[in-house]
Amino acid sequence: MNFPMVLKNSDFSDCDRSSMRRIFVKRLVFGENLSGWNIGSSFIVADVSDPAKISVNARVKTAGNCMTFLADSGRLYCLEREFFEVFDIADIENIKLLKRIEGYTGGYILLDRTKELLYLSNWRHGIAILDVSNRDNPTPLGSADCDCVDLHPVGNDGPYGMSKGLCLRGSYLFGATMDYVTSRNLGALYVYNVSDPSSPRKITKSPTPDFRAHGMDSKGNYVFVIGAHGVLSFDISIPEDPIIVGELKAGSRFLVNAKLSDDLLFAVGVIHGSVEHTGILDVIDISNPLHPRKVGGIVLPLSFGYSIAIDDEIAYIACDSGVAIVDIGRPESPRLLTARNAPEGKWNCGIHVFDI
């Protein structure tokens, strides 16, 4: 009879145990920017192996205000205001800038590992696609606009563009635009054909009038767009003809960014009209896309929730005034584990969690 091998602590050398510890280090990266346009921008890398504690390991300066991140293969991709930067993060104590590309501004990065492509939400410019077959040297391939009619702004983002969140289904890329000038009704769910990444094409758009979409996530044949008025469910089973099939009104809760975990959509934002711009996390059940419903939530001790990352049963949230970590093991009653206040005069945006 064969018995399973049981390894005792004494069976490992100090080197083995050290290697095992490194495997389970969980890192958090988030942006920390000075108020103003591309002034004093940086990102912070922290150890959050203990989710009740944010232990800062490194602070790295960036060219622009950090908006979103993605880590892969020892590289950190940072999408900023007016810049896209790549950093070598294999050694947290010696993070190095590898490449900087000007002209990109957005709030989301999507990686297709199979085709080694990055898709960027590029705000007023629509979408952009980069070749990352060489992780150290991303190469721009193609782009497609989102019908922005505004003149190029100076010192601000402009009122209209592609919001946070992209969804890839086969040869189709989906993204939602938002417009702060609500009277124009330019907001829409856009569909692009990206079969040729060097020449993506707009296929169609489904209007979201006065919704002010700020983010989205997807599951199966559905896209869930969140914004100033709640949640919209889109059926994208026919990519050329997405249709709205469900809606949840959020009342005074302005939703800004969201991540799906199984059948739950975790959305962060702000209580609209609150004096302190109080940040929130709402939990929405989308198991029936035709009738999304709120099942839980928590008011955060920080202002304006901008970005969220989910890892197992933990939510990491970047807010205007700091970073919060929330236990979402019981979705009906999320529990705050810890919060880190941003230094005076700075604001946080963009957040990503990864293992080393």
**Predicted local distance difference test score (pLDDT) of residue 4:** 35
**Predicted local distance difference test score (pLDDT) of residue 15:** 47
pLDDT at 93 over 80: yes
- Which of 266, 333, 338 has its CA nearest to residue 301? 338
**Predicted local distance difference test score (pLDDT) of residue 23:** 55
Residues in a beta bridge with 196 = none
3-state secondary structure of 23: helix
Residue 14 counted as domain residue: no
Give the chain's largest Cα–Cα span.
77
Residue 17 counted as domain residue: no
**Cα 22 vs. chain centroid, distance in angstroms?**
26
Does residue 90 contact residue 74 with C-beta atoms inside 8 Å?
yes
Does residue 266 contact residue 240 with C-beta atoms inside 8 Å?
no
- Which of 252, 247, 244, 245 has its CA nearest to residue 292? 247
Residue 328 phi/psi, 5-degree rounding, is -115, 20
DSSP string of 206-239, one letter each residue: EE-TT--EEEEEEETTEEEEEETTEEEEEE-SST
Residue 150 counted as domain residue: yes
pTM for the predicted model, two decimal places: 0.91
Residue 1 counted as domain residue: no
Cα separation, 298 vs 119, in Å, equals 32
**Per-residue model confidence as pLDDT tens digits over 8-60:** 344 434 444 444 444 579 999 999 999 877 888 999 999 999 999 999 999 99
**Predicted local distance difference test score (pLDDT) of residue 276:** 87
**Per-residue model confidence as pLDDT tens digits over 227-283:** 998 999 999 999 999 999 999 998 999 999 999 999 999 999 999 888 889 999 999
Find the mean pLDDT for residues 337-356: 95
Cα separation, 41 vs 39, in Å, equals 6
User: Which residue bears the tokens 């944010």?
Assistant: 54
- Which of 159, 151, 181, 157 has its CA nearest to residue 79? 157
Cα separation, 320 vs 304, in Å, equals 5
**Per-residue model confidence as pLDDT tens digits over 58-87:** 999 999 999 999 999 999 999 999 999 999
Residue 339 counted as domain residue: yes
Q: What does the block give as tokens for 12?
A: 């490992």
**Per-residue model confidence as pLDDT tens digits over 180-211:** 887 887 899 999 999 999 999 999 999 998 88
Cα separation, 132 vs 140, in Å, equals 9
Cα separation, 255 vs 104, in Å, equals 24
Residue 239 counted as domain residue: yes
Residue 45 counted as domain residue: yes
User: Which residue bears the tokens 């077959």?
Assistant: 133
State the burial class of residue 171 (Cβ atoms within 10 Å of its Cβ: 0-12, 13-18, 19+).
middle
* Residue 144 lies in domain: 24-355
Residues in a beta bridge with 317 = 308, 324
Which positions ≥6 away from 335 have C-beta within 8 Å? Answer: 298, 326, 327
CATH code of the domain in which 48 resides: 2.130.10.10
Q: How many domains does the chain have?
A: 1
Residue 7 counted as domain residue: no
